[in-house]
Amino acid sequence: MLPGLDAAVLPADAIEVGRIADAWGIKGWFKVLPYSADPEALFSSKHWFILPSEKGAKTFSGVGQISIKEAKTHSDTVVACASGVDDRNSAEALRGARIFVSRTLFPSAEKDEYYWVDLIGLNVVNREGVALGVVRELLSTGAQTVLLLDYDHEGKLLERMIPFVAVYVDEVDLAGRRILVDWQADY
Model pLDDT for residues 95-128, shown as the tens digit of each residue: 999 999 998 888 788 888 888 888 999 999 999 9
Long-range contacts for 164-167 (Cβ within 8 Å, ≥24 apart)? 164/119, 164/138, 166/112
Query: Are residues 69 and 126 both part of a single domain?
Result: no
> pTM of the predicted model, to two decimals?
0.73
Produce one character per residue of 146-181: b if its CB has 16 or more CB atoms within 10 Å, e if not.
bbbbebeeeeeeeebebbbeeebbeebeeeeeebbb
83 falls within a domain: yes
Confidence check: pLDDT of 31 > 90: yes
101 and 10 in a common domain? yes
Q: Is the pLDDT of residue 178 over 70?
A: yes
Greater pLDDT, 2 or 94: 94
Contact 106, 114 (CB under 8 A): no
DSSP 8-state assignment for residue 108: P
- In this predicted model, which residue has the larger pLDDT, 53 or 127? 127
Residue 1 belongs to some domain of the structure: no
Domain count within the chain = 2
- Would residue 162 count as lying in a domain? yes
Asked if pLDDT for residue 38 goes beyond 80, the answer is no
Least confident range of 7-11, 37-41, 133-137, 180-184: 37-41
Residue 186 lies in a domain: no
pLDDT on residue 2: 77
Domain that holds residue 34: 6-105
What confidence score (pLDDT) does residue 78 get?
A: 95
The predicted pLDDT at position 28 comes to 95
Q: What is the CATH number of the domain that holds 141?
A: 2.30.30.240
- Beta strand pairing status for 156-163 and 145-153? antiparallel
Average pLDDT, the chain: 91
94 and 31 both lie in a single domain: yes
Q: 65, 84, 105: which is the final residue of a domain?
A: 105
Nearest Cα to Cα of residue 106 among 40, 186, 23, 37: 40
Binned at pLDDT 50, 70 and 90, residue 1 comes out as low
* 41 pLDDT more than 70: yes
